[in-house]
Amino acid sequence: MLPVISDPESLTPLVGATADTDADIDVLADRHRRAVLRCLATRASTDPVPLADLADFVVLETDADDQRSGVLAMTGDALFGTRKRVHSSLRHNHVPRLAEAGLVAFDPDANTVALREDGEAVAEELERVGAERDAAEDEATIA
């Protein structure tokens, strides 16, 4: 249906909705933030997770992609440095953004993160999309 031009409501831009959508997409655009949500969603317990544990999970999850590109070192001081960098980026960038979006609860004093209800819904959707992508890739490989 076309908007009636004389109707003032039809001329009102959907600025709020667009801004919210852009912010939501921006939060999920980074693979580290998606990995944090996956980690928290797959845990059996709803207890807050230490940030160091999240950093380890993110390093291991992104390991396969980075090994192919030669970015991530697998042993010794280089691996320790990678974990420190990931921990720092989670603490100062990624987790605060997820908390601001209402997806996680972040306690900077205790250095822990817990999944919120909205975060759980987003993690489930990410899992569904990932499963569909994997199925499509499998079909493309077979064909």
CB distance 72 to 60 below 8 Å:
no
Domains and CATH numbers, the chain: 22-142 (1.10.10)
Bridge partners of 70?
none
Judged by DSSP in three states, 50 sits in strand
Count of C-beta atoms within a 10 Å radius of residue 4: 10
Could you report the per-residue pLDDT of 35-68, keeping only the tens digit for each? 999 999 999 888 999 999 999 999 888 765 555 4
Tell me the pLDDT band of 70, cut-offs 50, 70 and 90.
Answer: very low
Average pLDDT over residues 84-94: 95
The pTM (predicted TM-score) of the whole model is 0.73
Closest to 105 (Cα-Cα) out of 64, 26, 49: 49
Phi, psi of 86 (to 5 degrees): -65, -45
pLDDT at 14: 47
